[in-house]
Amino acid sequence: MDNLHTSTGLNIQNFAGSSEFSFIQQDITVPMDIAAERIYNLACPASPVHYQLDPVRTVKTSVLGTINVLEIARKYGSRILQASTSEVYGNPQVHPQPESYWGNVNPIGKRSCYDEGKRCAETLFYDYRRQFEVDIRVARIFNTYGPGMALQDGRVIGNFILQALSGEDITLYGDGSQTRCFCYVSDMVNGLMALMESDISQPVNLGNPVEISMGRLAEEIITLTDSSSAISYQPLPEDDPLRRKPNIALAESRLDWRPSVSLATGLAETIRYFKTLTEGE
């Protein structure tokens, strides 16, 4: 189910003819009644460009939408997984971030529609567990990338690749020293599936703990694309976290999960994918 608010449906075309696949175009904020054994709730714009465009809609997706899917799980006894986010940690004062960290989030900033929306979604999951005994799983997803991303996704790896391929200046916010960790999409999917089939009901960090600065990432992408792009520095956006790194000890010990795709390999595959999209325009 998707309302195609931030996508075109291109990624599901290969499944359209399968008897094991069906697609419903609907906004998650609209109540629904679908019998299911497993529910993965990944609904919500995840890029600042998209979630800040209509912040009220973003909050509704995380709150009203989450209530709607939890009601399905309650009615049919479904197991349900919430795709939460590292943004629940805000601009962290603890590094790396373990699941026990409560976070440092601005509740009234430009990013709070997403950050606090996701935090409220976690609250709803645990209240439904306590009050109605719903079988829940919660994944705190750190930055994820790979083939399948939209051209105008708005997140850093896609932005850098597009700028490098076109020879435009690569936009760095701040001085480029802020760090992130990037998990390749296949690793993330494996982690989500492992969590769903586990017996862990507490939040679990899923991400690649290899930390890289934005300046270094820009240099890597310039090299991999053989680009002539220069780097342009812009002011750091409001509440943009300075460091972000998951502590994945829980996922390693309880799920036997850890990322296997290196950043160099993942970037090469993602660049190849973006080239096919841009060359086909």
Cβ contact 80:136 at 8 Å: yes
Give me the catalytic one of 51, 89, 114, 184.
Answer: 114
What pLDDT was estimated at residue 47?
75
| pLDDT band at residue 245 using 50, 70 and 90 as cut-offs | very high
What pLDDT was estimated at residue 155?
85
CATH annotation of 10-279:
3.40.50.720
Cβ contact 112:63 at 8 Å: no
126 noted as active-site residue? no
User: What is the token pair recorded at 165?
Assistant: 């391929």
Q: Where are the domains positioned within the chain?
A: 10-279
Q: What are phi and psi of 63, to 5 degrees?
A: -100, -65
- Please count the helices (runs of H) and the strands (runs of E) in the chain: 8, 10
Mean of per-residue pLDDT scores for the chain: 93
Cβ contact 212:179 at 8 Å: yes
| pLDDT band at residue 153 using 50, 70 and 90 as cut-offs | confident
Judge whether residue 189 has pLDDT over 70: yes
| pLDDT band at residue 270 using 50, 70 and 90 as cut-offs | very high
Q: What is this structure's pTM? A: 0.93
